[in-house]
Amino acid sequence: MARILGIDLGTTNSLIAYMDGKTPRVIAGKQGRAMVPSVVAMTDNGLIVGDPAKEHLVRNPERTIYSVKRFMGKSLADVSDELKYFPYKLHEQGGVIRIQVGEKTYSPPQISAMILKELKLRAEAHLGEDVRGVVITVPAYFNDSQRQATKDAGMIAGLDVLRIINEPTAASLAYGLQQKTQGTIAVYDLGGGTFDISILKLKQGIFEVLATNGNTHLGGDDFDRTIIDLLLHEIRAESGLDLSQYADQMQALRLEAERVKIRLSDDVKTQATIELPEGKGTFRREMTREQLEALVSDLIERTLSPCRLALKDAGLQPSQIDEVVLVGGSTRMPLVRQRVQDLFGKVPHCELNPDEVVALGAAVQADILSGGTQDMLLLDVTPLSLGIETMGGVMSPLIRRNTTIPTSAKEMFTTYVDGQTSVDIHILQGERELAKDNRSLARFQLKVPPLPAGVPRVEVQFLIDANGILNVTAKDVRTNQTQSIEVKPSHGLTDDEVERMIGESFKFAAEDLKARQLIEARTEAEAIRKATEKALGLGGHLIGPEETRAIRASLESLTAASAGEDHRAVRARIADVEKTTHHLAEVLMDTSLKEALQNKKLEELP
Amino acid sequence: MEQKPTVLPKRTELHMARSMCWHCQSEVTGEYFCEQCVKVQPLSKELDYFTCLGLPRLLNIDLEALEAKFYTLSRSFHPDFYHNKTDSEQAISLGNSALLNIAYRTLKDPIQRAEYLLKLEAGSAKDIRTSPPADLFEEILALQEDLEEYRQAAPSQNQAALEPLKAKLASDREQLEQRQREMELRLADLFNAWDLLHAQAESAPVDDRLRKERETILKGLRELLSNRTYLRNIITDLVAVMA
Ligand SMILES: Nc1ncnc2c1ncn2[C@@H]1O[C@H](COP(=O)(O)OP(=O)(O)OP(=O)(O)O)[C@@H](O)[C@H]1O
Ligand SMILES: [Mg+2]
C-alpha cells in the first residue's frame, strides 16, 4: 500500500508530514524550515511558492497571492469588507471568486493547488518516491463549499485526497499520541485566518468530538489589520500621505505590522518602522504590548463565544474540561493565552509546537487510513446544521450541527400540481431560521413521473461522509429506481471546471519546474556567495593572494551565471566555488577548532 | 422508516433482515461479519436502534455500556478501516457507520430515547402541543400577562420602575422551573414502570393486564413528553425576553 501523507494547508503557512514508523514527522525544505509560507508569486520567470515568493509581496504585490484560504468556497459578497486589504484584483464567476493576475484569472483552489504541489515536490524529494495519496486538514468550522474547494485544490494539484479532516481534531490526534491522555480536552486553534474550538473525549484510543464551533474568518490576519489601520491613520495625520494608495508600501506596512505583533508576544514594547514614498522619509512609532492588546481585545473576545457555545452543545461546564490544548501561531500571544485560561480556569497546554501539530496529526490520520495505526479512531462531527428550503423560505433542518459523521437523513418528496415533472431542491447549511440567512450549498432538480399531485414519491438521501462532505442520492419509491442527481454547487467549481484546471495544471507543470529549479539554484548561489565573502573576511589572511584571486574569479562567474536563465549553469558554478574554497574552509575549520579547544581549556581551569 | 410495534417482545433477539452473505452467498451466522468470507454485512434498514446497539428495549440504560458498545461497533464499521477494501465494502461501512452514529445519539439522550421508543411501540412520535397543558393553564396565563406588560413597558420606562415587574417574572420563572423538575421526576417514574413491565413480560405470559398497563405507560409518556417540550419552550422565551 502506497504511503499516504498529511498536509496542513494553512492561511499563512502550509506543511507536509509523514509517519516514520510510529512517529509523525514534518518534512523540512532545503533551508531546514518545515513551514512553507502560503504565498504564490507569478513572476516573469514563472511561478514561485513559499519563502522565495514572500520576497515578492513588496516587489510585486499585484502578482503575489497570499491568504488565499480566506477565499476558498466563498463568493465576492462574502469578503467585500476586506477587499481593501488585498493588492490583487478579485472578481466573481459562477458564484466563485476569481483572482486576476495580469491577463489570467485563477480560482482559489488553483492557487491552493500551487501550494499543494510545492509540498508534494518537497515530500517527493525527501522520501525519494512518488506522492499521490494525502490527507488534507481544514478548519473544523469550514462549510461544505469550503471543504469541497479544498478537495478540488488537491485534485488540481494531481493529488488523491483520501480524507479531509478538521485541524483541531488533527491536533488532538498528535497530542493524544504523545501524551496518552484520557478525558475531555478542548482544542483552541487560532491561526492566521481562522478560529476553531473543538471539544473531544479521549478514551481507549477513540477520539470522539463532542462539539465544535468557530469562525472561518478570524485570525492573526485580523490582528495585523488593527495595527495597519492605526498606522495608516497616524501616517496620514503626520505626513498627509494615504499609504493605501501604494500597493507595495501597503504590503511593506502589512509585513511590518505582523512583525510588530509577533515581537510584542515576547517584548513589552517595540518600534514600528515604515519607509514612506515620495521622499517623505521614515515613519517611526513605538508600540507597547498594552496598546496592541487594546487593539485586539475585541477580536480575542470574539473567539470566546464560540467556546461557550461548543461547551453548551457538549453539555459541559468549563470546569469539566480536563485539558486545554493551544494550536496555531496566534496562540503565542500572551493575551490569547490569558483569556483562554480565564475561560476554562486552567493553564493551557502548549508543549507541542503549535505550528506543526496539525500537520503531524494529519500524518497520523493518513497512517490510520493506510492501515498502519490501528488502535486510534477519530469520530468527528459536522459543524453546521444541514437542511433544505421549504415553503415560505424557511430552513427545515435535516441533520443537526455536532452530529457524529458519517450520518444521513432521508426526506420524501412529492408534487403539488398534477403532471408536475420536477421538484426543485435547495440545500442549505447554517443555524438560522430563514433560508436566506443560511449558506446556500447547492440546488438540484428532482425528476418525477408526470402523475396526479401527491402520487409520486421520491426519497432523497442526504449523506455526510467522513470528510464532512455532502452526498445526495434519490430513489423513486414506487419503482425502486435510483436517480442520478446533478447537484449544482452555489459557490463551487463545476466538475468540468475542475477537469479543465487539472489539465492546465499539467501543462504548466513543466514550465513551472524549470522556473523553480532556476530559483532554487539562484537562492543557493546567493547563500554560498554570502558564506564565501564571510569566509574571505575571516580567513583571507590565512591563504595566499593567488588563492584569493581564484576564489574571487569563481564568485564572479557564479554571479554571471545567476543572472542567466539556465539552472544547470548556476549549479555548475556553485560546484566550482565549492571546489575553489575547499582549502579555505579547511583552514578556517582548523583555526576555529583550535580556538574552541583553547576556550574549552580556559573554561575547564578551576 | 416504518417500524413495526412489538407486542411486548419476549426477548430481544438480534435479527438481521438478511440471511445470506452479499459476497459469498453463504448463510450468515456471525453478527456483523460473514463467518465464511469475513466480509462486513450491511445492517438491515429495518433494524431498530436498540437492536443495533445490542440493547433490550428499556428506558433506563447503562450509559457506560452503551458507549462501550458504540466504540466497539465504530471500530468494526468506520470508513477509516475500509480504505483498502472494495467499493461495495466501503459503501456498507459508510451506511453502517451512519446508522450506528444516529442510533447512538438517539439512545444516549434520555428524551430522544423515550421519543424513539414511543415511535417504535406506539407508531407515532410525539404530539406537537400548541395549547398549554391543563394542569399548567393558570400559571401560563398569568405568565403571559406579565410578559406582555413587560414587553410594553421595557423600551420606555426607566430601570427602577421595571424592577417589580422583573421580580414578578423571575418568580414566574422559578415556579415554572419547579414544575419542570416535577416533570423530570414523573418521567423517571415512567421509565421505571416501563422497565418493570418489560421484565414481567419476559418472565410471565403476556395477559390483558400487562397489555393495559403498557397502554397506560405509553400514553403517560407521550403526554409528559409533549408537556415538557411546551414548558421548555415557554421558559426559553421567558429567558430571551428578560435578557
Ligand atoms: N509569536 C507570535 N505572536 C503572535 N502571533 C504570531 C506569532 N507567531 C505567529 N503568529 C501569527 O500566527 C499566524 C499564523 O499561524 P499559523 O501558521 O498557525 O496559521 P495557519 O495555519 O497558516 O492559518 P489557519 O490555520 O488559520 O489557516 C499569523 O497570523 C502570524 O502572524
Ligand atoms: Mg492552522
- What pLDDT sits at residue B147? 80
Q: Please, what is the average pLDDT of chain A?
A: 90
* pLDDT tens for each residue of B73-98: 999 999 999 988 999 999 999 999 99
Phi and psi torsions of B106, nearest 5°: -65, -45
Chain B: give the shortest CA distance to residue A508, in Å.
32
Q: Choosing from A78, A118, A189, A196, which is the catalytic residue?
A: A189
Residue of minimum CA distance from atom 20 in ligand 1: A10
Catalytic residue list contains A196: no
Are A368 and B101 an interchain contact pair (Cβ–Cβ within 8 Å)?
no
- What pLDDT sits at residue A362? 97
Rounded-to-integer distance, Cα B129 and Cα B111, Å: 16
Among A260-264, B20-24, B172-176, whose mean pLDDT is lowest? B20-24
Q: Which residue has the higher pLDDT, B46 or A335?
A: A335
* pLDDT tens for each residue of A2-19: 899 999 999 999 999 999
Q: Which long-range contacts (CB under 8 A, 24 or more apart) does A594-600 make?
A: none
- What pLDDT sits at residue B163? 81
Q: What is the mean pLDDT of residues A162-185?
A: 89
Q: Quick one: pLDDT band at residue A598, thresholds 50, 70, 90?
A: low
Q: Please, where are the H alpha helices in B124-158?
A: 137-153
According to CATH, where is 3.30.420.40 located in chain A?
5-219+297-379
- Give the range with max mean pLDDT: A59-63, A344-348, B6-10, B152-156: A344-348
> Searching chain B, which residue's CA lies closest to the CA of residue A133?
B83
Residue of minimum CA distance from atom 8 in ligand 1: A329
- What pLDDT sits at residue B127? 59
Chain B: give the shortest CA distance to residue A34, in Å.
27
Pocket lined around ligand 1, Cβ cut-off 6 Å: A 10-13, 69, 167, 191-194, 219-221, 258, 261-262, 265, 328-330, 332-333, 355
Are A466 and B80 an interchain contact pair (Cβ–Cβ within 8 Å)?
yes
CATH superfamily to which B1-108 belongs: DnaJ domain (1.10.287.110)
Phi and psi torsions of B209, nearest 5°: -60, -45
The listed CATH number (2.60.34.10, 3.40.50.720, 1.10.3720.10, 3.40.50.970) that belongs to domain A384-492: 2.60.34.10
Domain ranges (residues) in chain B? 1-108, 129-242
CATH superfamily to which A5-219+297-379 belongs: ATPase, nucleotide binding domain (3.30.420.40)
- What pLDDT sits at residue A484? 75
Rounded-to-integer distance, Cα A5 and Cα B109, Å: 38
- What pLDDT sits at residue A184? 94
Percent of chain A scored above 70 by pLDDT? Answer: 96
Among A194-208, A217-231, A432-446, whose mean pLDDT is lowest? A432-446
According to CATH, where is 2.60.34.10 located in chain A?
384-492
Are A406 and B98 an interchain contact pair (Cβ–Cβ within 8 Å)?
yes
Q: Quick one: pLDDT band at residue A603, thresholds 50, 70, 90?
A: very low
Neighbours of A544 (CB within 10 A): 9
Q: What is the mean pLDDT of residues A207-221?
A: 94
Tell me which H or E stretch contains A231: helix A220-239
Among A492-496, B62-66, B93-97, B128-132, whose mean pLDDT is lowest? B128-132
Q: What is the mean pLDDT of residues A533-560?
A: 89
Whether A379 has its CB under 8 Å from any CB of chain B: the answer is yes
Cell, residue A397: 433542518
Catalytic residue list contains A229: no
Q: Which of A237, A170, A424, A200 is nearest to A322 (CA)?
A: A200
* Nearest atom within ligand 1 for CA of residue A69: 27
Planar angle of CA A207, A328, A432, nearest 5 degrees: 70
Q: Which residue has the higher pLDDT, B136 or A522?
A: A522
- What pLDDT sits at residue B11? 37
Rounded-to-integer distance, Cα A577 and Cα A557, Å: 9
Nearest to A406 among B81, B101, B105 (CB): B101
Q: Quick one: pLDDT band at residue A280, thresholds 50, 70, 90?
A: confident
Q: Please, where are the H alpha helices in A268-391?
A: 289-314, 334-344, 357-369
* pLDDT tens for each residue of A146-157: 999 999 999 999
Phi and psi torsions of B212, nearest 5°: -70, -45
Are B80 and A204 an interchain contact pair (Cβ–Cβ within 8 Å)?
no
Percent of chain A scored above 90 by pLDDT? Answer: 58
Planar angle of CA B203, B209, B212, nearest 5 degrees: 115
- What pLDDT sits at residue A596? 61
Longest dimension (CA), chain A: 104
> Searching chain B, which residue's CA lies closest to the CA of residue A381?
B101
Nearest to A377 among B75, B94, B105 (CB): B75
**pLDDT of A69 higher than 90:** yes
Q: What is the mean pLDDT of residues A391-403?
A: 90
**pLDDT of B5 higher than 50:** no
* pLDDT tens for each residue of B180-230: 899 999 999 999 999 999 888 888 787 888 889 998 999 899 888 888 888
- A497-604 maps to which CATH number? 1.20.1270.10
Q: Which of A132, A122, A216 is nearest to A166 (CA)?
A: A216
**pLDDT of B3 higher than 50:** no
Q: In testing the pocket of ligand 1, which one of A7, A12, A198 has its CB within 8 Å of the most ligand atoms?
A: A12
- What pLDDT sits at residue B43? 79
Place of cell 456498507: B92
Rounded-to-integer distance, Cα A538 and Cα A595, Å: 14
Say what angle helices A495-539 and A567-580 make with each other, to 10 degrees: 20
Mutation to test the A interface, candidates B1, B46, B83, most A Cβ within 10 Å:
B83
**pLDDT of B13 higher than 60:** no
Are A368 and B80 an interchain contact pair (Cβ–Cβ within 8 Å)?
yes
Catalytic residue list contains A189: yes
Q: Which residue has the higher pLDDT, A538 or B99?
A: B99
Note the pTM of the prediction, 2 decimals: 0.84
* pLDDT tens for each residue of B20-55: 777 777 776 667 777 777 778 877 777 889 999 989
Rounded-to-integer distance, Cα A29 and Cα A35, Å: 8
Strand A422-429's sheet: what is its strand order? A394-399, A386-390, A422-429, A439-447, A488-489
Among A4-13, A171-180, A356-365, B22-31, whose mean pLDDT is lowest? B22-31
Neighbours of B117 (CB within 10 A): 22
Determine contact, residues B224/B129, Cβ cutoff 8 Å.
no
> Searching chain A, which residue's CA lies closest to the CA of residue B99?
A407
Q: Quick one: pLDDT band at residue B161, thresholds 50, 70, 90?
A: confident
Place of cell 532554487: A520
**pLDDT of A83 higher than 80:** yes
Q: What is the mean pLDDT of residues A232-237?
A: 94
Catalytic residue list contains A167: yes
The DSSP symbol for A194 reads: -
- What pLDDT sits at residue B26? 76
**pLDDT of A415 higher than 50:** yes
Q: Quick one: pLDDT band at residue A199, thresholds 50, 70, 90?
A: very high
Distances in Å between the Cα of B111 and the Cα atoms of A240, A517, B232 are 66, 63, 13
Rounded-to-integer distance, Cα A562 and Cα A150, Å: 37
Q: Choosing from A8, A258, A323, A356, which is the catalytic residue?
A: A8
Are B101 and A405 an interchain contact pair (Cβ–Cβ within 8 Å)?
yes
